[in-house]
Amino acid sequence: MASMIEWVSERSGSGQLRRAGLVLSLLLAAGMAQAAQRQPAAARPAPILPGACYCKAAETLQCTADLTEAECRRRSADALCDEWFWLERLACWNWGYGG
């Protein structure tokens, strides 16, 4: 009878280990699947932010507000700007410096 009790206790212990291993492997697999679905930071598209587009043509500097960099590049090419630059998230500065 004692050997039967030892046999049952051994079997139940290994069953608990198997269940714990199964639960652990399921949790690990779920975590790996979730990590695979996340996009890395480099793969995420950068936010498109508006800014100020400055165009210098015929010695005059003009500014157009709330354009993205791509829109500024296209508009500057259409307007035949000698030089152009775009300032992200800034408004146009069309005022003098006082005096």
Q: Which of 26, 32, 94 minimizes the C-alpha distance to 65? A: 94
Q: Which residue has the tokens 């992200």?
A: 88
To which H or E segment does residue 87 belong? strand 83-88
Q: Which of 9-13, 22-26, 62-66 has the highest mean pLDDT?
A: 62-66
Helices (H) and strands (E) in the chain, counts: 2, 3
Higher pLDDT, 44 or 85: 85
- Mean pLDDT along residues 18-26: 75
User: What is the per-residue pLDDT for 10?
Assistant: 57
CB of 69 closer than 8 Å to CB of 51 = yes
- Mean pLDDT along residues 20-35: 73
What is the rounded distance in angstroms from the CA atom of residue 38 to the CA atom of residue 31?
11
Q: Is the dihedral of CA 34, 35, 37, 38 positive or negative?
A: positive
DSSP 8-class letter at 53 = E
Q: Is the pLDDT of residue 3 over 70?
A: no
Global pTM reads 0.51
Partners of 63 in the β-ladder: 54
Per-residue pLDDT reduced to its tens digit, 28-82:
777 776 666 666 666 777 778 899 999 999 889 999 999 999 999 999 999 999 9
